[in-house]
Amino acid sequence: MNTWTTRAVTAATASAAALALAGCGGTGGTAAAGSGGDGLTVVAGFYPLEWAAQRVGGDRVDVSSLTPPGAEAHDLELAPQDVAAVSEADLLVYLEGFQPALDEAAQNEAADTAWDAGQAADLSLTAEEHGHEGETAEEHAEHAEEGEEGEALDPHFWLDPTRLASVGDALAERLAEADPDGAATYEENAAALRADLEALDAEMSAGLADCAVDTLVTGHDAFGYLADRYGLEVVGISGLSPSAEPSPAAQAEITELVRERGVTTVYTETLVDPAVAETVATEAGAQTAVLDPLEGLTDESAGSDYLEVMRANLATLQEGQSCT
Ligand SMILES: [Zn+2]
């Protein structure tokens, strides 16, 4: 190990300790402005991007996330110290269209250092935006025909492990631009990340290949890419964002669909109030189970990192969808 690397590791460790201390009493985000060390300072929008940046950056980077553990990622609000962290970071890893507050900060505070993971993730899926409050099914259909609401890009790419692997590869290239001496390390780390994610993907493909129930009814519309990858059809109760509650008419339609398709399990989420999903399940005579969209990690998460939580999701799905 050369002296530069040794110094960088020491600085990163010291900075991580400072972050841990700051995290204890903090009310806003967990990002701290400027590490002052030799390593690259990377600020990530939310958990899967933070995890990928840590895996690819390794000891050469100091990664923090703007979404505090346990907070709902879509509705991220930035405190002044978060905005400062965004503007001072060597690299901002975010997802355009997922966290509106961060899109704005990326544009205004980090024009040269913001990196949108959506390009490498190939955001190809759309989902229907759910109806306006109180709207009937016919009104909803009319609006859709008129193009008033229609389709929105689905941002939840990380629930397909192969797309997250592509983001890791692209991130290695972007980190190497900022830190050319680390290029080989970033490439190796991204390859190791890809290997882990492809192993997970193989497990999921095998585990979900033969399921009695193909319709996946989830709290919000987060599992489109997972469903697309593994041959399931997803129905989100709350649309693309968990804060968009369904109208009574939409909720009744989903309940009917659960009955018709013989869905036995309706999934709730770790970070979202399960009330609506529980009502749908009760009315349709189904049970509930927790599926984690991995927008954040908490003490209640069914694992300590992305890979563990995804494997817990797989086990939950195999039972809930009656897979053999
Ligand atoms: Zn979401």
Whether residues 267 and 315 fall in one domain: yes
Interval between CA 35 and ligand 1 midpoint (Å): 30
Total domain count, the chain: 2
User: Does residue 131 have a pLDDT over 50?
Assistant: no
* CA 269 to ligand 1 centroid distance, Å: 10
The per-residue pLDDT of the chain, averaged, comes to: 86
**Residue 310 vs residues 60, 205, 291: alpha-carbon distances, Å:** 27, 13, 9
pLDDT band at 238; cut points 50, 70, 90: confident
How far apart CA 118 and CA 154 sit, in angstroms, is: 10
d(CA 110, CA 301): 32
For residue 119, report the distance from its CA to the centre of ligand 1, in Å. Answer: 18
Helices (H) and strands (E) in the chain, counts: 12, 10
CA of 55 to the centre of ligand 1 (A): 22
Q: How far is the CA of 220 from the centre of ligand 1 (A)?
A: 7
Task: Provide the 3-class DSSP secondary structure of residue 204.
Answer: helix
Range from 9-18, 122-131, 151-160 that averages highest in pLDDT: 151-160
Nearest to 117 by CA among 157, 80, 77: 157
Residues 279 and 188 in one domain: no
Average confidence (pLDDT) over 158-180: 98
Residue 138 has pLDDT above 70, yes or no: no
In this structure, are 176 and 32 located in the same domain? yes
* Cβ atoms of 307 and 198 closer than 8 Å: no
Query: What is the residue range of 216's domain?
Result: 208-320
Distance CA 42, CA 304 (A): 21
* CA 293 to ligand 1 centroid distance, Å: 7
CATH code of the domain covering residue 44: 3.40.50.1980
Tell how far the Cα of 11 is from the centroid of ligand 1, in angstroms. 34
* Secondary structure (H, E, C), 245-297: CCCHHHHHHHHHHHHHCCCCEEEECCCCCCHHHHHHHHHHCCEEEECCCCCCC
DSSP state of 182: G
pLDDT tens for each residue of 250-292: 999 999 999 999 999 999 998 888 999 999 999 999 999 999 9
- Within a 10 A sphere around the Cβ of 129, how many other Cβ atoms? 19
Confidence bin at 178 (pLDDT 50/70/90): very high
Same domain membership, residue 191 and residue 295:
no
Distance of CA 277 to the CA centre of its chain: 20
Q: Look at residue 218 and tell me if it is in a domain.
A: yes
Q: How many CA atoms lie within 13 A of 150 on its CB side?
A: 5
**Predicted local distance difference test score (pLDDT) of residue 322:** 98
pLDDT band at residue 18 under the 50/70/90 scheme? very low
**189/94 same-domain check:** yes
Residue among 232, 67, 98, 217 at smallest CA distance from 160? 232
Residues 235, 105 share a domain: no
Give the distance (Å) from ligand 1 centre to CA of residue 70: 14
- Compute CA 179 distance to the chain's CA centroid, rounded to the nearest angstrom: 26
Domain match, 263 and 182 both: no
Mean pLDDT value across residues 147-174? 90
pLDDT category at 152 given cuts 50, 70, 90 is confident
63 with 182, same domain: the answer is yes
Q: How far is the CA of 261 from the centre of ligand 1 (A)?
A: 24
Report yes or no on 172 lying in a domain: yes
Q: Are 71 and 219 in the same domain? A: no
What is the pLDDT, as a whole number, of residue 301? 92
Task: Tell me how far the alpha carbon of residue 174 lies from the centroid of ligand 1, in angstroms.
Answer: 25
Q: Is residue 143 part of a domain?
A: no
Q: Is the pLDDT of residue 60 over 70?
A: yes
Residue type, 258: V
Alpha carbon of 184 to ligand 1 centroid (Å): 34
Strand, coil or helix: what is 36?
coil
**What value does the mean pLDDT take over residues 6-12?**
39
Let me know if residue 137 belongs to a domain: no
pLDDT of residue 168: 98
Strand, coil or helix: 25: helix
Tell whether 314 and 224 lie within a shared domain: yes
Is there a domain that residue 148 lies in?
no
Distance from the alpha carbon of residue 253 to the mean position of ligand 1, in angstroms: 21
How far is residue 75's CA from residue 78's CA, in Å, rounded to a whole number?
Answer: 10
The per-residue pLDDT for range 292-301, each reduced to its tens digit, is 999 999 888 9
For residue 83, pLDDT over 80 is answered with: yes
Q: Which two tokens stand for residue 230?
A: 């593994």
Residue 314 and residue 188 share a domain:
no
Mean pLDDT score, 231-246: 88
Cα of 278 vs centre of ligand 1, distance in Å, is: 18
Q: What is the pLDDT of residue 270?
A: 83
Q: Which amino acid is at 290?
A: V
Backbone angles phi, psi at 118, to 5 degrees: -65, -30
Q: How far is the C-alpha of 256 from the C-alpha of 37, rounded, in Å?
A: 57
For residues 77-104, give the mean pLDDT: 97
Name residue 131's amino acid.
Answer: G
Backbone angles phi, psi at 110, to 5 degrees: -140, 40
> What size, in residues, is the chain?
324
User: 7 C-alpha vs ligand 1 centroid, how far in Å?
Assistant: 39
**What is the 156 CA–ligand 1 centroid distance (Å)?**
6
Percentage of the chain surpassing pLDDT 90?
71
Residue 256 lies in a domain: yes
Residue 150 domain-assigned? no
Is 90 exceeded by the pLDDT of residue 170?
A: yes
Q: Report the separation in Å between the CA atom of 241 and the middle of ligand 1, taken as the mean of its atom positions.
A: 5
**The pLDDT value given to residue 148:** 45
Give the Cα separation of 103 and 309 in Å (integer): 27
Q: Taking the CB of residue 11, how many other CB atoms lie within 10 A of it?
A: 16
Q: How far is the CA of 51 from the centre of ligand 1 (A)?
A: 17
Shared domain check, 215 and 175: no
Centroid of ligand 1 to alpha carbon of 243 (angstroms): 9
pTM for this one? 0.83
